[in-house]
Amino acid sequence: MKQVKLKDKEFRVSITSDKIQEAVDQIAKKINNDYKGKDVPLFISILNGSFMFTADLFKHIDFVCEVTFLKLTSYRGTASTGAVRQLIGVNEAIEGRDVIVLEDIVDTGITLEQILGQLKSFEPASVRVATLLFKPEAYLKDLKIDYVGMEIPNDFIIGYGLDYDGLGRNLADIYTLINE
């Protein structure tokens, strides 16, 4: 069983790269179907964690579209701080556009609520959310998540863009923290 050590913590493979790619494909198929014929939808990818998911998903999108990146953070170490800060704003025109927010993972939903709240003031025509991973047990909100790649248990994970204090984003598989 593949394991990695980052700083003081050990992690074990829990979702292989093949499984991740299957989930990405499934989301892309649904989005392609739902947005067929729409006028240049705008994907908003939430950095840092979503960069790999965004790159892989985007290659499967078959309609004319744009992508932009928004940087927020709510994590310190392995627990959500609850406070979300917006670090980089959106410059693209959002008013009247069909927007698809791309998240690596929705945990408590605090980040998502913040993003959707901020987006509303730009008056998009529509906003949908796609997340590769979703932790239903941790979710505190009732905002609709339109596209979910995989539901996962409420464990801390890394890899495929997700980090532990900045580390582990480069791993192609997803790993779960081994509890000592």
Residues that bind ligand IMP (CB under 6 A): 46, 49, 74-75, 80, 103-112, 156-158, 162-163
Per DSSP, the three-state class of 61 is: coil
Containing 176, the helix (H) or strand (E) segment is strand 174-177
- Work out how close the CB of 142 gets to ligand IMP at its nearest, in angstroms, rounded to a whole number: 13
- Work out how close the CB of 137 gets to Mg ion at its nearest, in angstroms, rounded to a whole number: 18
User: Residue 157 touches which of Mg ion, ligand IMP, none (CB < 5 to 8 A by kind)?
Assistant: ligand IMP
Catalytic residue among 107, 142, 165, 173: 107
- Work out how close the CB of 95 gets to Mg ion at its nearest, in angstroms, rounded to a whole number: 25
Q: Which is nearer to ligand IMP, 77 or 96 (CB)?
A: 77
Give the other-Cβ count within 10 Å of 124's Cβ.
Answer: 18
- Beta-carbon contacts of 40 under 8 Å, excluding residues fewer than 6 positions away, are 64, 65, 66, 97
Catalytic residue flag (residue 107): yes
Q: Which is nearer to ligand IMP, 37 or 82 (CB)?
A: 82
Minimal CB distance to Mg ion: which residue?
49
| Spatial CA neighbour of 172 closest among 10, 21, 8, 6 | 21
- Work out how close the CB of 4 gets to Mg ion at its nearest, in angstroms, rounded to a whole number: 20
User: Residue 162 touches which of ligand IMP, Mg ion, none (CB < 5 to 8 A by kind)?
Assistant: ligand IMP
Strand partners, 157: 176
What residues make contact with Mg ion under the rule CB under 5 A? Answer: 49, 104
Q: From edge to edge, which strands make up the β-sheet containing 126-134?
A: 79-88, 66-76, 42-47, 98-106, 126-134, 147-151
Q: Note if the bond before 32 is cis, omega within 30 degrees.
A: no
| Catalytic residue annotation | 107
